[in-house]
Structure 1
Amino acid sequence: MTTTQRTPERVAVVTGGSGGIGGAVARRLAAAGTAVVVHYSGGRARADEVVERITAEGGTAVAARADLADADEAAALFAAAEEHFGGVDVVVNTAGIMLLAPLAEMDLDDFDRMHRINVRGTFVVSRLAARTLRPGGALINFSTSVTRLQQPTYAAYAATKGAVEAMTLILARELRGRDITVNAVAPGPTATPLFLDGKSEQTVERLAAAAPLERLGTPDDIAETVAFLAGPGRWINGQVLYANGGIA
């Protein structure tokens, strides 16, 4: 559902838009006047809530489901953006999962599941973005600050995000002459329900104290970074931005 029938100036597809960070990104882009396709995989109710909040605040949004690792379903997601809003200018790829275990104990089925969603899913969406983004567009993939923190139990997850960084930086060079920026955002510890689930108060306090700003990030912090890359940050291209409050 949308609040208006006019053709928006810019259109964004936000994968994982039903999640904590994805929902904040969708709302922030909508607040800037961008029409948003809020992608979800299994969280239809949460995606609808994001859409309802956007429309209640005067924005324009629609929810759409897809298995992003399935090329046909992902293509249908982009087709929905074309059908509803006439094209795509911004793609924000927040969809991903994190399964933790020491490398020697990591279940290979869990590793394959992360690889399918985090790596293959990002690759499929990035390929579609490269083919469909209009001039002046932006692709923003998601990595993690863990790729340079070397924290135990994160090896498999960090490996998938290292792959995301590699494809992102190369794609930025491959799109020379298209006036399309390609970057990755690498959040640090961010206070989402998924991040906080299962962590003790002491663990949360320790993680919050790690940054010089002495707090956890918020989904809105990450959304502001994305909004900059999606809008005024046109001279930033082929980079990984660590949005983590200064964690080394």
Structure 2
Amino acid sequence: MMTDTLQGKTLFITGGSRGIGREIALRAAANGANVVIAAKTSEPHPKLPGTIHSTVAEIEAAGGQGLALMLDVRDADAVEAAVAQAAGHFGGIDAVVNNAGAISLTPLAETGVKRFDLMMQINVRAVFVTAKAALPYLRKSANPHILSLSPPLNFGTPWLKPYIPYTVTKYAMTILSLGLAEELRADGIAVNTLWPKTTIATAAVEHEVDASLIARSRHPAIMADAAHAILTSPADTFTGQTTIDEDVLRARGVTDFSAYCIDPQVEDLALDLYVDP
């Protein structure tokens, strides 16, 4: 059943205290959704804006209901407890958004084992753990979705060569999602991935990729609008898709993306990782 609203639906978003996760939360809140922000940042960070509490305050100001849960997605027991608490608080869970991520754009020789383990735990294992914990509640939803922020599988040499430790974790995230879509197809639970066509103006791009790209980036709102379109799609048919934000919105009639640009005067937008020209 396709609707244009998430009103009354409950979203469980990992890593949602800032950036794309926060924007998805606020977009859903404006529709009257219940939004669970499950992330590590409980106290203000000296360099990064936003906490789980400030984001929940914004959610409620936007028209939704919020719940702040301090969570390290590497802790499987804590994830299970957080999902149960969220479902108990709001009476169920309708969508899981796997937004938490770890990044290191370094070749294998320069990537520490601990850093690789961190990326595997957050980018891959956490998707497994969170989906597993949420399944009993999603099965009771009228239009259940799992949405992971990971890229289409692009096996071109330019993407396999430069930072394979990070790449393999993000591709594994997508492969897990595609497989889970098939596993859960009979249950009517949609599983999809979403990735931006251009770089998005987030702290990750500014601090981990290249701060000079911010002016050539789009606002996280484009990802929020695309996520909203996916999460309101019929779960029994819109599943197993590896989507790009711009393509999702084009399919819904959007043709002008200039409002999303950080600098409307910049025409040479920076393509995101794994997206070919």
Could you state the TM-score of these two structures normalised by the residue count of structure 1? 0.84
Residue pair 1:185, 1:241 contacting (<8 A) in 2 also: yes
1:69 is matched with 74
Residue pair 1:147, 1:158 contacting (<8 A) in 2 also: no
* CA deviation after TM superposition for structure 1 residue 135, in Å: 3.6
- Mapping of 1:95-106 within 5 angstroms? 95-106=100-111
Say if 1:181 and 1:51 are closer, same or farther in 2 by CA, change over 3 A. same
Q: C-alpha separation between the residues in 2 aligned to 1:58 and 1:219?
A: 19
Q: State the AA in 2 paired with 1:217.
A: R
2:148 is matched with 141
Say if 1:42 and 1:54 are closer, same or farther in 2 by CA, change over 3 A. closer
Q: State the AA in 2 paired with 1:87.
A: G
- Mapping of 1:51-62 within 5 angstroms? 51-62=56-67
Q: C-alpha separation between the residues in 2 aligned to 1:177 and 1:17?
A: 30
1:230 is matched with 231
Say if 1:90 and 1:233 are closer, same or farther in 2 by CA, change over 3 A. same
Q: C-alpha separation between the residues in 2 aligned to 1:107 and 1:154?
A: 12
Could you tell me which runs of 5 or more consecutive residues in structure 1 were left unpaired when the two chains were aligned.
1-7, 209-215
* CA deviation after TM superposition for structure 1 residue 140, in Å: 0.3
- Number of residues of Structure 1 aligned to a counterpart in Structure 2: 231
SS where residue 97 of structure 1 aligns? Answer: coil
Q: State the AA in 2 paired with 1:181.
A: A
Please list the CA deviations of residues 100-150 of structure 1 after superposition, one character each: whole Å capped at 9, or x if unmatched: 212222211111111111111111012123332124111101113695563
SS where residue 177 of structure 1 aligns? Answer: helix
- Mapping of 1:35-50 within 5 angstroms? 35-45=34-44, 46-50=51-55
Say if 1:10 and 1:51 are closer, same or farther in 2 by CA, change over 3 A. same
Q: State the AA in 1 paired with 2:224.
A: A
Say if 1:229 and 1:142 are closer, same or farther in 2 by CA, change over 3 A. same
Residue pair 2:152, 2:242 contacting (<8 A) in 1 also: no
1:241 is matched with 243
2:263 is matched with none
Could you tell me which runs of 5 or more consecutive residues in structure 2 were left unpaired when the two chains were aligned.
1-6, 45-50, 248-270
Residue pair 2:153, 2:174 contacting (<8 A) in 1 also: no
